[in-house]
Amino acid sequence: MDQVGLVKRQFGHRARLALSPAQAAVLDGQAHTARTAWNLLHEWWQLCRRDQRTLAAADAVIRQARKEMDWLGQLPAQAAQAVLKTYFQAWKNCWEGRAEAPEFKARFRTPLALDIPQGRDLQVVRVHRRWGMVNIPKLGRVKFRWTKDLPVGRRADKDNRITGARLVKDALGWHIAFRISVLEPAPAPHTGPEVGIDAGITIPLALSDGTDFHHEPWLTEKEQARLLELERRAAHQKSCRTPGEPTSRRLQHTYDQIAGLRAKAKRRHLDWQHQTTTTIAKTYGTVVVEQLPITNMVKSAKGTVDHPGTGVAQKSGLNRVIHAEAWGRTTGFLEYKTRRHGGSLHKVPAPGTSQRCHACKTITPGSRESQATFVCKNEACGWSGNADTNAARNVLADYRAGHALAPAAGRCSRQTRKRAKPPTAR
C-alpha cells in the first residue's frame, strides 16, 4: 500500500492489432527469432557446467550471438533481454516446485509471442473513440482496438502507467497485452448477500437464490456445419498423405480455418465468463463454490486390455463438455473479481452436494430423478425442484456450517513437485 486508503493494482488488458500483411510478416519473423533465441539459450544451458550457468554469462552469450548472427539482429535488444530473463525465471519456478523444467520450443506447437518490457517504448495514444496507436520497436506505429481506458497522456504518472506489453498471435491474428499498474482506492467491504454456486452442464451456473446463468452455443448452426465440414476435409487430406511426408499447404490451410473457428468460440466463451462473473462479484458479498476435482472427473473410461471399460464413447462426450465449460477458469475469475469489489470467495468440499436434500439434510436413493430434477424420497420432507439449485443451496449451507476449505494459494501437489524436478541440480 503506497498511500492511506489506496492500493496498487496490477492487471493486463488485451487488444487486437490492425496490421497489414507486411507488418504481420515482420512480427512473425521477430517472434520466430525470439523462439530460436530461447532454444539456443536452452542448448547453451545444457552444455555448460553448473558454475557457468549465471545470468551474466548468458547475457554475454546473447550479446555475442547478436553480433555474429545477422538474423538475430531483427529481434529488438530489449526483447532479447526479455527472453533471457524469462528463461531464468522458468528455471527458478522449476526449482521452487511451481512449474516443470523449461523445454525446447517447437516451431509449430509453440504460440508466437514477443515481449516489449519497457512501457516508455510503447508511446500509447488514443486516436479516437475506437482506435489507439502504439509504437512497436522495429515496426513503427500500429493501430489497436481501443476497448478500455488506459492510463496514457495526462492520466499517466508514476503510479498510473503502462509498464510493458506482450505481443501474442493466435488463430485470429496478432494482439497486444498491456501490463498496467494503477493506484486506486481500496475497496470497501461488500455488504451484499451470501450465495452458493453450483457449476453444471445443463445449467452452467446455478445460484442458491434461484438465479440461473445460461449461454447459447458458442458457434452458430452455420459455423458448426462449417467446422464439421473442415474437420472432415482435414481427415481426408491427412489420409491421402504419405506417412512421414511434411504437411501440405492445403492441409495446413484447413487446420488454420479450424483453429480460427475454435478461437472464435473461445473468445465468445471468455466474454460470457467475464460478464457473468463481474455481475456475480458486484451483486454478492460472499460467494461459495465447490472444490471440484476436475482432473479426476475427466479421466477416460477406456480401462485396460484385461479390464476394458464400459460406456467409453459416452464418457468421452461428457469429458468434452466438462472441458468446454471451463469451470476452473470461472472460479479463477470469481476469485480476483470478488476481492476487487470487497467481497470474498470460499470453497467447500464437493462430495454429497448433489445427492443431499437441502431441506431435510438427508441423502435418499433415487432422489436425483434426472439431470435437472431433484425429488426428495424422504417421506417426512418430499421437497422437489431444480437439482442444480438444490446443490447450490447445499454448497451455501456447508459454508455456513463451517466446512469451508482453507485457501491453498501458492501451493502445488506432491505429484506436481515431483514432475517439476529439474534434470540437473541447481
Q: What is the pLDDT of residues 144-193, one digit of tens each?
A: 999 988 988 888 888 899 999 999 998 889 999 999 999 988 888 888 89
Domain ends where: 142, 170, 186?
A: 186
In a domain, 98, yes or no: yes
231 falls within a domain: no
Give the model confidence (pLDDT) of 342-394 as tens digits. Answer: 999 999 888 878 888 887 878 877 777 667 788 887 777 877 878 888 888 88
**Domain assignment present for 273:** no
Are 125 and 73 within one domain? yes
Using 50, 70 and 90 to split pLDDT, how confident is the model at 404? confident
Q: What is the pLDDT of residue 86?
A: 92
Reported confidence tier of residue 411, pLDDT bands at 50, 70, 90: very low
pLDDT reading at 414 higher than 80:
no
Residue 325's pLDDT is what?
84
Structural domain for 377, as ranges = 194-214+279-416
Does some domain include residue 247?
no
Residue 206 lies in a domain: yes
Q: Which residues contact 12 (CB under 8 A, 6 or more apart)?
A: 177, 178, 179, 180
Decide if 102 contacts 90 (C-beta within 8 A).
yes
Whether residue 181 sits in one domain with residue 295 = no
CB atoms near residue 224 (< 10 Å): 14
pLDDT average, residue stretch 184-209: 88
Are 206 and 71 members of one domain?
no
Among 186, 202, 234, the domain boundary falls at 186
The answer to the question of residue 246 being in a domain is: no
Same domain, 104 and 208: no
Asked if the model's pLDDT at residue 423 lies above 50, the reply is no
In a domain, 8, yes or no: yes
Check whether residue 351 and residue 404 sit in a common domain: yes
Residue 233: inside a domain: no
Pairing of strands 131-136, 140-145: antiparallel
Shared-domain flag, residues 205 and 345? yes
Statement: residue 269 has pLDDT above 90:
yes
Mean pLDDT of 260-281: 93
Residue labelled with grid coordinates 455481475:
279
- Clarify whether residues 104 and 72 are in a common domain: yes
Based on the fold, state whether residues 199 and 118 are members of the same structural domain. no
Residues 286 and 405 in one domain: yes
Give CA separation, 328 vs 204, 354, 367, 403, in Å.
Answer: 12, 18, 28, 20
The sign of the dihedral angle between the CA atoms of 223, 225, 226, 228 is positive
> How many domains are contained in the chain?
2
Tens of pLDDT, residues 276-300: 999 999 999 999 998 887 777 777 7
Boundary of a domain, candidates 147, 169, 186: 186
Q: Residue 115 and residue 248: Cα distance in Å, rounded?
A: 31
208 and 119 in a common domain: no
Q: Does residue 52 have a pLDDT over 80?
A: yes
**pLDDT of amino acid 424:** 40
Residue 79, φ and ψ in degrees, nearest 5: -70, -35
